[in-house]
Structure 1
């Protein structure tokens, strides 16, 4: 529950970040360059989390960076899960050549790690906000197809589904009212894993200079920029690093706890 509260608080802060930021993320304060956080003796309360090597407010950049490092991955996972689960569910109950061929194609793509696939797509399309979002979304779809197809196909041959089929239930009813409640724990776990992967991928791509480009305050790009200043202003690396760590840890804990709770409810 603590992890859930942390995650909900972070999502709320991300949604309200344009209203909460005390300064513009690109504004440079020449009289406050590399200023430490306010809890340090030489800090300033006007800059709660200090400033970077260009005099930009770290708190403002972390808040707006959450839109790209947390908000964007949530949107990408939502789109990829909608597409992947739909195709996977149809492939799990429809044994025609059309759906089986499509699922085999995505199985082949699944052998390529999502980060490597995103790198290949970006190498073809180029860097930029839209290309990064498209690349990571596309790289997550095969995972949802594979997990959903296997989960649905496993349930399809169980006795309770066979009994419903003999009662004349349609495939749509079987899928959404009979099978889906029993595969929900698996899908929830895949959603949380994919969200963590999406956050790490977008941060890694930005860290390598292939993702969201400066001066956009994405947490991965902030980490990359702080490498040269780590000994002079360590807070410029520690703060985005801790934010990434807390976000991913909260997502994983919530996902695992929710999966166990749903599984216990189904078994009962």
Structure 2
């Protein structure tokens, strides 16, 4: 018997990560990195206008010697710089919206699953009402009433997507509430808030994470859609949706205004969805069984 055989027998087995997951993770990290570093890596001021250099194709050298790698928009602003700054806005809206909807939805779902009775009835009927209205229509109507703006957009998106978290948290809480150590904590005199956030929440974090990952990509699309319609981020601030909204008027003359932010939006949402599917397969035992 070889001396090294016992060493190989007890070698820890690391989880295998598919190449596709590594690729989409790298795409997400690159987009997040360039968004955070936009003030330092953007080649020009995203708000600086040059009407004599408007609608220039990619690779054009401007009058000041700056090379517009992705061209310019209808006001002569550097498209690459606006895409980098737009990534900051789109990611910020998506992250904050997911945090708001997660906080509201998970809290209500755990309350409904723990207290039951009239609390369960009121919360879950409210969930049914919210889910009966198309989310994008509800968001459009709410933003149209409240008015556009960064904070309003975050609140609208966050407060229209919480029912999905509530349903998942409610179902998971009903299962976890019957575990022996939860009952022991209750008999020991622990309060409802301590039990829910100290013992129940860690046990339902996996399914909540799966929902949050899927919702993150959806929030990016919602923000882009509302900004495209003029109900999201307002000029002169840049977001991918508002950039494409301007570019739709010049598709035949300046295709790059729509193509490049659209490609970034496609890559980010696709990467997030693929990563979310992989996390679901890893964290959900029923998915592995199927």
Shorter-chain TM-score bucket reads 0.7 to 0.9
Map 1:1-268; keep pairs closer than 5 Å. Answer: 1-38=22-59, 43-44=60-61, 46-156=67-177, 161=179, 163-165=180-182, 167-169=184-186, 170=190, 175=196, 179-180=200-201, 182-263=203-284
Q: C-alpha displacement at 1:14, in angstroms?
A: 1.3
Cα deviation code 1:95-147 (max 9, x no counterpart): 14235313322331122122111122123212333322221111112221122
SS in 1 for 2:67: coil
Cα deviation for residue 155 of structure 1 reads 4.2
User: Unaligned 5+ residue runs, structure 1?
Assistant: none
Residues 118 and 136, structure 1, Cα contact 8 Å, conserved in 2: yes
Kindly indicate whether the alpha-carbon contact (under 8 Å) linking 2:173 and 2:200 is maintained by their aligned counterparts in 1: yes
**Alpha carbons of 1:197 and 1:156: their partners in 2 closer, same or farther (altered >3 Å)?**
same
Q: Distance in 1 between matches of 2:114 and 2:262?
A: 43
Bigger mean CA deviation after superposition, 132-141 or 29-38: 29-38
Q: TM-score, normalised by structure 2?
A: 0.80
* 8 A Cα contact 1:185 1:260, kept in partner: no
Q: Deviations over 1:167-223 (max 9, x none)?
A: 455566764566545533321221012111211111111111222222221111111
Give the SS at the match of 1:56. coil
Q: For this pair of structures, how many residues does the alignment match?
A: 260
User: Which 4+ residue blocks in structure 1 deviate beyond 6 angstroms?
Assistant: 265-268
CA contact (8 A) 1:107 1:146 kept: no
In structure 2, stretches of 5+ residues that fail to align are 1-21
**Contact 2:281 2:288 survives alignment (8 Å):** no
Q: Which is greater in Rg?
A: 2
On the 8 A contact 2:100/2:159 being kept in 1, the answer is no
Q: Which moved more, 1:238-247 or 1:197-206?
A: 197-206
